[in-house]
Amino acid sequence: EADAPGALALALCHLYQDIAELDEARRLAEQAGDPFVLATVLNNLGVALSHEGDSDRALVVFMESYRVRADMGDVSRMALSLNNVAWTLFEAGNVSQARDYATQALGLARDVGDRRHIHAAADSLGCIALAGGHFDDARALFKEALIHAQEIANAAAARITLYGLAAVAGATGERL
């Protein structure tokens, strides 16, 4: 019975992307006392807030998720939280901080060999490099991301990364 609030919180955070419902899922996750559930709910809440344009609150929530995951020693998902911080900062125009957080995320993902999060962080850094006109860096990061997307057989992630490589090619006049 002690797991019921946690199970309900996870179900809510996967079914709904409404902020109020995710706030309720957060309350239930806190009540359950399960850090994995809480970190998952916080991450989904951060994504929803970011999509709604509330980047300030999204950043706070992503950092909460990071702290919970750090307390658990979940390095792989710490990388996920930091990459979400990076992407939110990037979308808000804070490129320097975004680069710092994405670099940290990539380092953590590489440390534990998590290909999914290596892909995500390398792709984020590629986008940041591309936006800054650092085409060689962007190309190298997108190629690294693509390798990992292919290794985990994630066709959707590979397609996203190929768009990045195509953008580099378009900006530099290269052929793919």
| Cβ atoms of 23 and 31 closer than 8 Å | no
Averaged pLDDT, 80-95: 95
pLDDT in tens, 123-153: 999 999 999 999 999 999 999 999 999 998 8
Q: What per-residue confidence (pLDDT) applies to 116? A: 93
Q: What per-residue confidence (pLDDT) applies to 13? A: 45
Q: Is the pLDDT of residue 16 over 70?
A: no
pLDDT band per the 50, 70, 90 thresholds, residue 105: very high
Tell me which of 24 and 56 has the higher pLDDT.
Answer: 56
Residue type, 128: I
Averaged pLDDT, 93-113: 97
Tell me which of 146 and 12 has the higher pLDDT.
Answer: 146
| Cβ atoms of 86 and 48 closer than 8 Å | no
Q: Is the pLDDT of residue 25 over 90?
A: no
Alpha-carbon torsion, ordered 125, 130, 136, 140, to 10 deg: 40
pTM for the whole thing? 0.86
Q: Is the pLDDT of residue 32 over 50?
A: yes
Tokens of 128: 């940041």
Q: Is the pLDDT of residue 117 over 50?
A: yes
Q: Is the pLDDT of residue 7 over 60?
A: no
Q: What per-residue confidence (pLDDT) applies to 30? A: 87
